[in-house]
Every structure is written in structure tokens, then in C-alpha cells.
Chains A and B, each alone.
Chain A
Amino acid sequence: MPIDLEQFHESFYEESFEGLDVMESGLLELEQGEVDLENINTIFRSAHSIKGGSGTFGFTAVAEFTHDMETLLDEMRNGERQVTEPIVETLLGCVDVLRNMLHAIKDKSEIDEQGVAQMTSALKAHLGGAEESVPAVAEDAVVTSAKGWLVSFKPYPGIMQTGNDTVRLLRELSELADETEVFVNNDLLPSLNEINPEQCYQSWNINLIGGDVSEDDINEVFAWVDDECELSISALAVEEDYIGPEKRKNNRREEISEKRAVERRRSAKTTESSSIRVNISKVDELINMVGELVITQSMLSQFDEGDDFTEVHFDRLKDGLAQLESHTRELQESVMRIRMMPISFAFQRFPRLVHDLSSQFGKKIELIMTGEATELDKTVLEKIGDPLVHLVRNSLDHGIESPEVRINSGKSETGVIELKAFHQGGNIVIQIKDDGAGLNKNKILEKAKENGLITHDERLSDEQVYDLIFRPGFSTADVVSDVSGRGVGMDVVRRNIRELGGAVEVSSTPGEGSVFTIRLPLTLAILDGQLVGIGNETYILPVISIIESLQVKAENINAVAGNAEVYRLREEYIPIVRLYQIFGIEPKSTELESGLLVVVEAEGKKIAIYVDDLLGQQQVVIKSLETNFKKIEGLSGATILGDGTVALIIDIAGLIELYQKDMAGGVVPIKGGGIAA
């Protein structure tokens, strides 16, 4: 019975991508000059498993490509080859190509043949013995436009001891094609008195031109010496595309942004059935919890038997219910923990990114990452990647100055970008800190006026000025580079983070650098909610945004310009938002004194929401409105209350925007820190 291999594909992809990540980080370490045999071994093993896996599943292209990488790595591992920067660059490029190939296979789309061919030739340039012999071959290849094959045959020294004859192999090969060009490489040939006649010291590059030769034909010739030599076969036609590693290196960087776009398109296209790897201890914990739950359940079911229900039973029933409650909560928490993953999954791409971009910009940058073990929800983790990349690129491009500027301003030549993740009061905080020039207030203001984001005579606090960079259509980059400075970006970053229920802020000191701070909820699925009543409706405010709730004192209410109201709270004026007006609900009362104000904050802005009643706090499970309906402004979702009814959850940041729109004409701009009275 044939086994359906398809079912294993998903885990193959997953493992392969993990392997690629391992290779990448290993190679980056190598590049920093830490030549460590264990490291090379790790890279080799990853390549080897990908090769093995792809061979098993019949992804021949991947297997062949990885084979060449493996060969090169093997030589490095055996100390036959020096670890040089060009080689590491090439291997990094290969990792990219391989990743693209795997993505293409996964999506069942076209493999970028050209990219593969380019990398293969770059690999071949390193392989095949001495480097100088290779360009000659390449030139030849360019001249010969006829269809054919380039066979690089490098037997191990011991090949002849196993009864194989290299001459016979070459002869057989030459019979295949119309025309054969053989380039022998004698570089390893020792002087005559040192020669061991039983050893093979030569290697060959053979061009097979014309004739109807398939790759399999060639492979068949070498079938018996497969494990006695290094063999690589590539189509000659592609050799015209041969680009030296140096040139290619630049090309690759130019492709970065393009590639990203492709990646984004790809992720939009596939609605993948994603899976996560869960630590076995988390699963054990769950099993234990379920066990407890079963015990409680059987205890409670005892009350089912017999009719006499006495007071003694009642107490036990109460105990049982209390137990059930605590177990349910613990079970819920354990299940939530399964979704939690360390943020290193999002961080791990940055060493590579910083490495690539810093050489592109000619800047020297050190990346420091801390708190990589901080766990957050998988959904959040997946969606925070792009905004983070953008912020890091931004710091790299705009934040850190060029080495000369840095030296002139008395800083060390190497800039530092710090990525930090930590917990703070039920939130995850991620900071991207650079020691660059800091935000240029005047430039931002100038640009904002130019783009009509602010009027000429507005007086703004520092925070408000910095906040302008998150507005749509804003960019201060003098030169629009392919990395950043197109004016789309920061607003997208803010929007993405907001979609996750988080917030992003920036602070900056001229000459000392900027800090971007992202705050995210621990999880998207559960929220501490404050239930509030407005008319007959129940709404939920996230407890995390609530600063305080207060009873209204009439003397503290001020009306500004007739219709906007502000509340004076400890030397601070806070706009009053009458929720019933914005949401069009029939309230119990429109008199402020008869209700309550809930002061909430989002993204540094405060508003006081007028509600009829506070109804209590509880944890609520967030349900999406978009699943069956659509996104509603001012709402982040809905939940189901204990009585089975639906309550809507208010999105504070969205509500503030709604309010500002309502007040259009800008009567009360909501101030950042608040103004002293």
C-alpha cells in the first residue's frame, strides 16, 4: 500500500524553515569571525536534514541545491577549506534561495529558477577545487551557447582503491555528448617523488555540448562512484547568467525590499493551517488539570444519586463548585499558555537584517537583544514581526548616523541598536532603542506643515511633535531609500500595533537617540473587562486602559467653545466623551451628575467616558465581530456574558478617534500629558 507522503509535508516545511533559521544564525556567527567547529557542524547538519527530507519527498531541485551547499560545508568542516567572508556570503545567499524554493514548493508556485541558477554557479565557483580555474570555465560557458551540461567531477583520493577507473568514467561521459571539453585541475598534484600511485589527485570540469543528454544519463555514469567523489551537474545554458559573488552580493541587497514585497504577497495569499510546537511540560500540565477536572466532576455527580439532599450535601456541593471554578480557571490559563511563545521567534531575524542593512548603508551597528525569553501569544507574535522590522530598519536608516558623523560628534564609530522585551503590569513591552541622532523636532515640524498635518501657528509639546511621525503620509528622510522614507510606514506600524490592541510611542533626546516603545496585551483571547451600563446596553472597557472612575462634581465641568466639555481632574483637563451620543444609545440620564466618569487612556491621550453605571469586573473571552460581520469603529470585539448575551468591547483608541471626528473642527485637541491649569 503506498504511503501518502503529503501528510508529512507540513512538518518537513516546518523543520526545514527551522533548519534554515539555524543555518542563518550559525553563518552570521561565522561571519563575525568565530570559526567554531561545532557551529559549522550545526550548519552542516541542518543542510543535511533538508537535503535528506527533500530527497525523500521528491523535491529534487531542493535536494540537488542543498547537496552543493553541503559539499562546501563539508569541506569547511573537514578543514579543507578556509572560512572566508565570500563563502559565508554565498552560503547566506543560498539560505535565502533555499527558503524561497521551499516557500514556492509549499505554495505550489514557480521556483525562481534564475535565482537558483545564480546561487548554484556561485557555489560552483567556490567548489571545484581552486578558485581561479573556475572563472575560465565560466567564460567558456558564456561562449558556448549550445545546450549542454557542466559536470564538475572531483574524486576523493581513494577512488582508485575501490576499483574505479576515472579514465573509464570520462570516456563513458564523452560518449554521451557530441562534443566534450575537459578541463583538468592538477593543483593538488604533489611532486613526483611524493606521489602515491594509488591515489587520485586530479579533478575535472567537463563541458558536454550537444547530443541529447539528460541529467540522469550523466548521473548514471557516476552511479558507482557516487560516494567516492564530489559531483555536481548543472545545465550549461544557465552559465550565461553567471555573476561573480561580489556582484551578486550587491544584487541581493537590492533585491531585499523586492523580496519582502513578494513575501508579503505570499503570506496574504495563503491562509495556512498553522501549527505550533508545544513544550511537553505544558501538555503534561494540561493533562493533570483535566484529570483534576474529572475528579471534581465525579465528585459533583455523586449528588445525582439518591433523593435526600441535606444541608451536609449542600456544603459539599458548594465546595465542589468552588473547586470546579478554580480548576476551570487553571485549565484556561494552561491552555492560554500553550499559545504563548518566546519573543525570540520574532527577534531571530534581526541579526541578519541588521547585518545586511548595515553594510548596505555603510554603517557600523551592533545589535543587542535582551528579554528574548519573554513569552507572548502566538497571534501577537506573528503580527508584531513586520512592525518590528520596520522600526528596526527605521532606526538603522534614520536613527544611527554614518561612522564619520558619529566620530565627529564624539561618539564611538559603532552605533548600538537595542531590542528589549519585558513584562510590565500585564503588558508586554518591546523597546527599540538606538543611540543615533534622535528625532529632529524642527524637521518634523517643517515637514508636518508642508504636508498640512498641522497649521502654522500650532504650539505643540515635544511628545505631540514626535507623535506626528505616526501620521499617514509623513516622512522626513532626505533621500528616499528602498528601505524606508517613502512616507508609508510609521502610520502602518501604528495601525498594525493598534489592531493587536497595543500602542506605540516614541521618545527622543537630540544627539543621544530615540526609543520606540510598543505595549502589547499578553494575549488577544482574554481581557480583563470592566462592565459598564449605558441605557439598556452593557459595554466592556478594557481594565488596562482605565485610570480611575469618579463621581462627577458639577464645579469641575467646564464647557469649551459651547459644545465640548472638559472635566478638571487634579490640574488636568480631560475631555468628556458621552458614549451614548457617539454610539446613539438611549441613556438613562443625560445629566452628568447622575452618572459616572471613567477616565481612560490610550496612546498617551486621556478621555473621560460618561456612563450610567459601573457593573463589575470580569475576565472576558474576546470574540471577533469580523468573523461573521465586519469591523466596527470604536469596538475591538464582542464577548459573551454569563447569561449568554453578547456585550461589545470598546476600543479606547478607536473611540478617541471617533470622538475627535465627532468634534470635527478641532475644538478640543486631546493633549498628550495634559496641561497645567
Chain B
Amino acid sequence: MTEIAEEPGQLEAQKEYRELLTFFLAGEEYGVDILRVQEIKGWDSVTNIPNTPEYIRGVINIRGSIVPIIDMRLRFNLEKKDYDATTVVIVLNVVREGKADRTMGVVVDAVSDVYNVPIDDVKASPDFGTAVDTEFVTGLATIDSKMIIVLDIDHMLNAAELAVIDKMAE
């Protein structure tokens, strides 16, 4: 975990490229900065947390820390899908401004690949109707004529928490 936290320095050094881990969600391919990925696990049972939105599936134990698991399909109001053999939990390191980093897991349909993408090739996303709110999209990258939506996980997962608070306040 600490190793990952230290990586951004390295990122700085090789500025031109950025490695993305991509995954599938409802037929679209999304990418996250691989340096933020702590591990990938198969889906396992979770402990439910009462009075939280449905997309917060619960918490699991990852080597002694309590890690919340968020279902990405539910988070973005996509059609529900039963978890199957390819369903995985991507455990991510989420950076918060002014606070300690957090570890959170996201449930996705399947992992796809790792790509080395030139940073300049990540284009700003046009305001169009992807399933995921453009607010959480850093940009779009094209690899082998495929489009990959690069996610801003910090914004997305910190906002996920805000949504909980909003709901509780109602």
C-alpha cells in the first residue's frame, strides 16, 4: 500500500506515459490509473452496513483493515447484474485532499487489460451521454480504435461518500 502511495513521484519522471488498468462495466471499457490499484480480488461475501445506500454493498476485511465495497453498476444507476465468475473487486487507493488516503473497493463486471497510454492521447471528454457522469471522467483514450473512459477515482469515490451523507440527512 505504501509503495503505491509513493509511486506518483515515479509517474512524474516518465511523464509521457500513463499505465491504465481497464475494466468492463455494462459493455463499456473504463480505465483507472494503475498506480492507484492496490489489488484485484474475486467477489466474496461482505458485511452489510445498515442505513446506507444500496450501492454500498458493505465492508470486507483486507488484511486487518475494514474496506467498504461499492458496486459501480448501482452507483451509476446501471442495470443490475448478478455477480458471476468474472465479477471482481478492484481495491483502490483513494486520495483525499488534506486527509489520509483511503482504501475502497469497487465491484466491476470484469477486468480487461493494462495499457500504456501516452498522456497526451487522453482527450477531454465531450459532454455526451456515457453511463458514467462526465463529472467523474478525466478524459477519453483511444487504444486500437477502442475507446476507454478514464475515470477520476478520487472525485468519484469521495463523492460517493457525500451522497451517503445527503441521503442520511433527508
Binding site for B on A (CB under 8 A): 271, 537, 582-585, 623-625, 627-630, 632-635, 638, 640, 644-648
The A-contacting residues of B in range 65-83, CB under 8 angstroms, are 65-68
Closest CB-CB distance, B30 to chain A, in whole Å? 22
Q: A638: which B residues are within 8 A, CB to CB?
A: 47, 59, 66
Interface size of B as a range:
20 to 34
Q: A537-B48, A584-B50, A638-B47 are in contact. Are A628 and B61 (CB under 8 A)?
A: no
Q: A585-B50, A640-B66 are in contact. List 11 more A-B contacts (CB 8 A).
A: A582-B50, A625-B49, A629-B104, A629-B161, A635-B50, A638-B47, A640-B61, A640-B64, A644-B61, A646-B46, A648-B49
Q: A630-B164, A633-B51 are in contact. Are A646 and B68 (CB under 8 A)?
A: no
- Using CB atoms, name the residue of chain B closest to A633: B51
Q: A629-B59, A633-B168, A640-B61 are in contact. Are A646 and B51 (CB under 8 A)?
A: no
Residue contact A646 to B59, C-beta cutoff 8 Å: yes
Q: B104: which A residues are within 8 A, CB to CB?
A: 628-629
* A-contact 0/1 string along B2-40, CB 8 Å cutoff: 000000000000000000000000000000000000000
- Identify B61's interface contact among A629, A634, A646, CB under 8 A: A646
Q: B64: which A residues are within 8 A, CB to CB?
A: 623, 640
Residue contact A623 to B51, C-beta cutoff 8 Å: no
Residue contact A628 to B50, C-beta cutoff 8 Å: no
The A-contacting residues of B in range 110-163, CB under 8 angstroms, are 161
- Using CB atoms, name the residue of chain B closest to A625: B66
Q: A625-B66, A645-B45, A646-B59 are in contact. Are A630 and B161 (CB under 8 A)?
A: yes
Q: B164: which A residues are within 8 A, CB to CB?
A: 630
Q: A623-B65, A625-B59, A628-B104 are in contact. Are A634 and B49 (CB under 8 A)?
A: no
Residue contact B60 to A629, C-beta cutoff 8 Å: no
- Identify A627's interface contact among B52, B61, B65, B165, CB under 8 A: B65
Closest CB-CB distance, B104 to chain A, in whole Å? 6
Q: Helix, strand, loop or mixed for chain A's interface?
A: loop
How many angstroms from the CA of A70 to the CA of B39 in the assembled complex? 59
- Identify B51's interface contact among A583, A629, A647, CB under 8 A: A583
Instruction: Give the 7 A-B residue pairs with the shortest CB-CB distance, closest first.
Output: A583-B50, A646-B47, A629-B68, A628-B102, A640-B61, A638-B66, A623-B66
Residue contact B102 to A632, C-beta cutoff 8 Å: no
Q: B45: which A residues are within 8 A, CB to CB?
A: 645
- Using CB atoms, name the residue of chain B closest to A624: B66
Residue contact B66 to A537, C-beta cutoff 8 Å: no
- Using CB atoms, name the residue of chain A closest to B165: A630
Q: B161: which A residues are within 8 A, CB to CB?
A: 629-630
Closest CB-CB distance, B125 to chain A, in whole Å? 28
- Using CB atoms, name the residue of chain A closest to B98: A271
Q: A647: which B residues are within 8 A, CB to CB?
A: 47
Indicate if B87 sits at the interface (CB-CB under 8 A). Answer: no
Q: B60: which A residues are within 8 A, CB to CB?
A: 646
Residue contact A648 to B47, C-beta cutoff 8 Å: yes
Residue contact B65 to A634, C-beta cutoff 8 Å: no
Q: Which of A582, A584, A646 has the most CB of B within 10 A?
A: A646
Q: A537: which B residues are within 8 A, CB to CB?
A: 47-48
Residue contact B65 to A632, C-beta cutoff 8 Å: no
Q: A624: which B residues are within 8 A, CB to CB?
A: 66
How many angstroms from the CA of A629 to the CA of B67 in the assembled complex? 7
Q: A627-B102, A645-B45 are in contact. Are A634 and B66 (CB under 8 A)?
A: no
Residue contact B48 to A629, C-beta cutoff 8 Å: no
Closest CB-CB distance, A204 to chain B, in whole Å? 54
- Using CB atoms, name the residue of chain A closest to B45: A645
- Using CB atoms, name the residue of chain A closest to B103: A628
Q: A648: which B residues are within 8 A, CB to CB?
A: 47, 49-50
Residue contact A629 to B47, C-beta cutoff 8 Å: no
- Identify A584's interface contact among B51, B59, B103, CB under 8 A: B51
Q: B66: which A residues are within 8 A, CB to CB?
A: 623-625, 627-629, 638, 640, 646
How many angstroms from the CA of A271 to the CA of B50 in the assembled complex? 31
How many angstroms from the CA of A583 to the CA of B52 in the assembled complex? 10
Residue contact A628 to B67, C-beta cutoff 8 Å: yes
Closest CB-CB distance, B94 to chain A, in whole Å? 8
Closest CB-CB distance, B87 to chain A, in whole Å? 19
- Identify B49's interface contact among A271, A632, A640, A644, CB under 8 A: A632
Closest CB-CB distance, B128 to chain A, in whole Å? 32
Closest CB-CB distance, B68 to chain A, in whole Å? 4
Closest CB-CB distance, A6 to chain B, in whole Å? 20
Q: Which of A537, A628, A630 has the most CB of B within 10 A?
A: A628
How many angstroms from the CA of A441 to the CA of B67 in the assembled complex? 48
How many angstroms from the CA of A579 to the CA of B64 in the assembled complex? 27
- Identify B52's interface contact among A582, A632, A640, CB under 8 A: A632
